[in-house]
Amino acid sequence: MTVKAIGPENRGARISRRNLIVAGAGLAGGFLNAPYLSRSGAQAQDATLKFWQFYAPGGDVKPQVKWFQDLVAAWNADHSPKVELEYIVNSEYISGSKLATAFASGQGPDIFLISPGDFLRYYNGGVLADLTPHIEEAARTDFPDSVIANRKVDGKIYGVPMEVEPMAFYYSVKAFEEAKLNENDIPKTWDDLLELAKKLTTSNRYGVLFETTPGYYQNFTWYPFLWQGGGEIQGKDGKSAFDSAATVQALKLWQDAIQSGAAPRQVVSGGFDIVSNLGAGLTAMQNVGIWGIAAMENNAKDMPYGVFKLPVPAGGKYVTVGGGWAFVANAKGQNPDAAAKFCAWALASMDKGSIQRVVDWCTTAKSDMPPRSSALAAGSAAFQAGRMGVFSKEIYPGTRAEPRVPPEVYKIISDAIQATQLGGTDPREAATAASQQLDAFLAGYSGAPIL
């Protein structure tokens, strides 16, 4: 998912893998029909490697800034070429077009972060370096298949995950108390959730919040509601499975929340931002991921809140989605081999420093579940206490990996969510139309497998 998750919201149309994908806001296509301008042979192999991300040095969460700075300092002390952090503001990196536009112009970073939802944009564009040669076998098996599968193609690893970020609901204890509610009133079903949201809604506060901004993150947060009713994007036959009762009810849940007045049509900063929404008192409950624990600890420490797992529909089964970001190397960059070595050294070595680095990211810098079995064991105490314990024991066991889909599939699903949630379109009509579009695309798709 992990922040999550979150990736560019822009579109894509298939072309040759020698050409690059560009994500530009408002574009119908995410690929640019211009050859990628490789820099690999033209620049010195010892040139500083640029590492684009949205944490440091300009981020506002000090433990996360420090983790990235310490990481790069440790590498630079003993390795060459050196790595330099380049901070891209969150809105530009996650919801904007800066990253993909840079690649389209031949100026993509040497090292960067991507979510599973955007993996195929870059893999099918031919710009992800194979990291496998730099990861020893013991480390490869240290990543559970449920975590690493959507970063692999043909058995090769193209991304090293730094976290697993399951989704849940957070609630304001104060809002519950004002409505004469307590933890015994935590909803177990979708109907309970909507009724509770109405009770918690006041003239200056919404009862519940779902993401309303179109993008990979919104799709990511919606998938569990599709799955809980048995729905899928694609069937085993390779065709669309989107025209289903499960799809319709998941779309309707989000639509009902808006139309009832219990959920906002527009969120502050982004649905992933718990501090600006729940923390600021704008909503009583918010659908957000495990990273919310660290965000609240660092920026809204005095606000009492609780966490509960996603409610389920009538006859449904509990499931949540686990996203998370991964280190990847630019196959067309200045020094792809060195960039790949850095990614493996940072997060995928059996060295104690590499394992501890993952533990520190998931427990000190951020609040996440670790993507490595060794890190889960090394930090076991932290994953069993407090709200992290709630995630570990109650929420995480129902985690399913975030789907990886091409930009075209993402866009079709995004349009269906937006049309029903904010546009008032009938969910059945939206599901049918989206399914027809998916079938038309899937019939001619020839990239890496959709997972």
Q: Where are the domains of the chain?
A: 19-164+323-397, 166-322+405-442
* pLDDT, greater one: 104 or 307: 307
Mean pLDDT of 28-53: 59
Pick the CATH number of 19-164+323-397 from 3.40.462.20, 3.40.50.2000, 3.30.70.1070, 3.40.190.10: 3.40.190.10
Cα–Cα distance measured from residue 188 to residue 171, given in angstroms and rounded to the nearest whole number: 14
166-322+405-442 CATH choice from 3.40.630.10, 3.40.50.920, 3.40.190.10, 3.50.50.60:
3.40.190.10
Q: What is the mean pLDDT of residues 126-133?
A: 97
Q: Is the pLDDT of residue 407 over 90?
A: yes
Q: How does DSSP assign 107-147, residue by residue?
A: ---SEEEE-GGGHHHHHTTT-BPP-GGGS-HHHHTTS-HHH
Q: What is residue 60's predicted lDDT score, i.e. its pLDDT? A: 85
Length of the chain counted residue by residue: 451
User: Which pLDDT score is estimated for 100?
Assistant: 85
Give percent of the chain with pLDDT exceeding 90: 86
pLDDT band at 345 (very low <50, low <70, confident <90, very high): very high
CA quadruple 176, 179, 180, 181: dihedral sign: negative
Q: What is the mean pLDDT of residues 175-202?
A: 97
Give me the pLDDT at residue 91, please.
79
Mean model confidence pLDDT for the chain: 90
Beta-bridged to residue 160, according to DSSP, are: 327
User: Running DSSP on this structure, what letter comes out for residue 67?
Assistant: H
Distance CA 143, CA 147 (A): 6
* Bridge partners for 288 per DSSP: 168
Q: How confident is the model at residue 428 (pLDDT cuts 50, 70, 90)?
A: very high
| Nearest Cα residue to 84 out of 43, 44, 119, 112 | 112
Mean pLDDT of 298-325: 97
pLDDT at 389: 96
* Whole-number percent of the chain with pLDDT over 70: 90
pLDDT at residue 144 greater than cutoff 80: yes
Average of per-residue pLDDT across 174-202: 97
The pLDDT, as a whole number, for residue 131 is 98
> Which band of pLDDT confidence, cut at 50, 70 and 90, is reported for residue 391?
very high
Angle value at C-alpha 71, between 67 and 73, nearest 5 degrees: 115
Q: Which residue has the higher pLDDT, 61 or 42?
A: 61
Residues 288 and 168 sit within 8 Å (Cβ to Cβ):
yes
Query: Counting Cβ atoms within 10 Å, is residue 444 exposed (0-12), middle (13-18) or buried (19+)?
Result: exposed
Fold match, 19-164+323-397 / 166-322+405-442: yes
Per-residue pLDDT at 6 exceeds 90: no
Strand partners, 169: 287, 308
101-105, 135-139, 186-190, 392-396: the lowest-pLDDT one: 101-105
pLDDT for res 35: 42
Q: Report the sign of the C-alpha dihedral through residues 38, 43, 45, 50, in that order.
A: negative
Would the pLDDT of 393 be above 50? yes
Residue 172 CA: distances (Å) to CA of 123, 181, 264, 451: 41, 11, 16, 35
Q: With left for phi above 0 and alpha for psi between -120 and 50, is residue 44 left, alpha or beta? A: beta
* Model pLDDT, residue 26: 30
Q: Is the pLDDT of residue 70 over 80?
A: yes
- Provide the 10 A C-beta neighbour count for residue 430: 25
Q: How far is CA 364 from CA 138, 250, 381, in A?
A: 25, 35, 13
Q: Please compute the mean of the pLDDT values over residues 283-300 and round it to a whole number.
A: 96
* Buried/exposed code over 301-330 (b: 16+ C-beta within 10 A; e: otherwise): eebebbbbbbbbbeebebbbbbbbbbbbbb
Number of C-alpha atoms within 13 angstroms, CB side, residue 213?
A: 21
Higher pLDDT: 187 or 33? It is: 187
pLDDT greater than 70 at residue 13: no
The answer, yes or no, to whether residue 20 has pLDDT greater than 60, is: no
Confidence category of residue 286, pLDDT binned at 50, 70, 90: very high
